[in-house]
Structure 1
């Protein structure tokens, strides 16, 4: 067992579970979603993305692409949150929260794709 593969898998699974935890709850209720949890999701996804650089296989390219999609959507969610909290006249309302959670849910789907690709790659290594 390679320590590098364990760390790599750890961050990918952590990104998925943190993202799931943020999305879980009523989409439009700001009380069910915390800004620090979104920040943790963004940071862990960025770390997972950096760990995917350097793999020159087709699976590695798909992993990197799915991770970049997740980071892009999470950064967009963070921008919407910052806009709602600091610029918007209405503040954090249900419409803004629904937009943030929808973007995070898209990132969740990209993280699920990453985990499925890792599982497929692992199964193929056994053969």
Structure 2
């Protein structure tokens, strides 16, 4: 068993599940979406991204790209939420942007997990 692969797989899958936990809920209300869960999703995604930095293969490049997309979208969601909270008012449009950005990050994380599982299956043959 390769401990590095276990740790990387753990953080890749954890990033996806925490992101899903934030994304799941009513699209019209931020009460169903915790800012702490969004923060945790950002931190876990950044950790997963740093674990993918050392891989020099083509698959490693694609996995890194999906992770960077998720990072950018989650950070953008947090910035929009913060600016709206303190500089503007949070309306349905802002809520929709925050949830949509986290949904895009979730899709990137699902792609990353799918590729990771596919790479793992391929390496066993």
Sort the TM-score into its range (normalised by shorter chain).
over 0.9
- Which residue in 1 is equivalent to 2:75? 75
Which residues of structure 1 form unaligned runs of 5+?
Answer: none
User: Which TM-score applies when normalising by structure 1?
Assistant: 0.96
Match of 1:122 in 2: 120
Q: How does 1:5-16 map to 2 (within 5 A)?
A: 5-16=5-16
Contiguous gaps of at least 5 residues in structure 2: none
> Which runs of 4 or more aligned residues in structure 1 lie more than 6 Å from their structure 2 counterparts after TM superposition?
none
Other structure's SS at 1:56 match:
coil
* Structure 2: distance between partners of 1:3 and 1:63: 19
- Name the stretch that deviates more: 57-66 or 23-32: 23-32
Counterpart of 1:42 in structure 2 is: 42
CA contact (8 A) 1:30 1:92 kept: no
Match of 1:96 in 2: 94
Work out whether residues 30 and 93 of structure 1, in 8 Å CA contact, stay in contact via their aligned partners in 2: no
TM-score, with structure 2 as normaliser: 0.97
CA RMSD of aligned residues (A): 0.7
* Cα distance in 1 for residues equivalent to 2:113 and 2:77: 22
1:79 and 1:101 map into 2 onto residues whose CA distance is 13
